[in-house]
């Protein structure tokens, strides 16, 4: 399973969200998930199973199947909830369901 954080330039904010997704995955003990980041222009719908983007890019990701919209890309609590919900929805094993 692969999660990808995307932003408009693929630099700072998507890298930060990538690291925060990894933190959220570690909190719930999720296994078997690879996390990466990219800019919207170079990412393709086949690059990942789930894409995480800020609300500002919501209208730009219509060609992607599974998109998680973040109201705030800096809110770790929101990301923790959404990563956990995504893992539950996709049946990703979790060892530490906190």
Q: What contacts 24+ positions apart, CB below 8 Å, involve 11-17? A: 11/39, 13/54, 13/73, 14/38, 14/39, 16/73, 16/74, 17/52, 17/70, 17/73, 17/79
Which of 25-29, 30-34, 51-55, 58-62 has the weakest average pLDDT?
Answer: 58-62
pLDDT (tens digit, 9 = 90+) per residue, 84-97?
999 999 999 999 75
Residues 86 and 97: their CA atoms lie apart, in Å, by 13
Q: Note the pLDDT of residue 10.
A: 62
The answer to whether 4 and 52 are in contact (CB under 8 A) is yes
Mean pLDDT of the chain: 93
pLDDT (tens digit, 9 = 90+) per residue, 41-73?
889 999 999 999 999 999 999 889 999 999 999
* All structural domains of the chain: 2-89 (3.40.50.2300)
Average pLDDT over residues 20-37: 96
């Amino acid at each position: 399973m692969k999660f990808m954080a995307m932003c408009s330039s693929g630099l700072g904010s998507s890298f930060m969200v990538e690291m925060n997704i990894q933190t959220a995955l570690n909190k719930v003990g999720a296994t078997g998930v690879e996390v990466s980041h990219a800019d919207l222009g170079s990412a393709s719908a086949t690059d990942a199973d789930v894409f995480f983007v800020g609300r500002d890019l919501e209208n730009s990701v219509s060609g992607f199947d599974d998109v998680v919209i973040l109201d705030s890309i800096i809110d770790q609590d929101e990301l923790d909830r959404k990563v956990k919900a995504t893992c539950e929805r996709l049946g990703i094993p979790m060892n530490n369901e906190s």
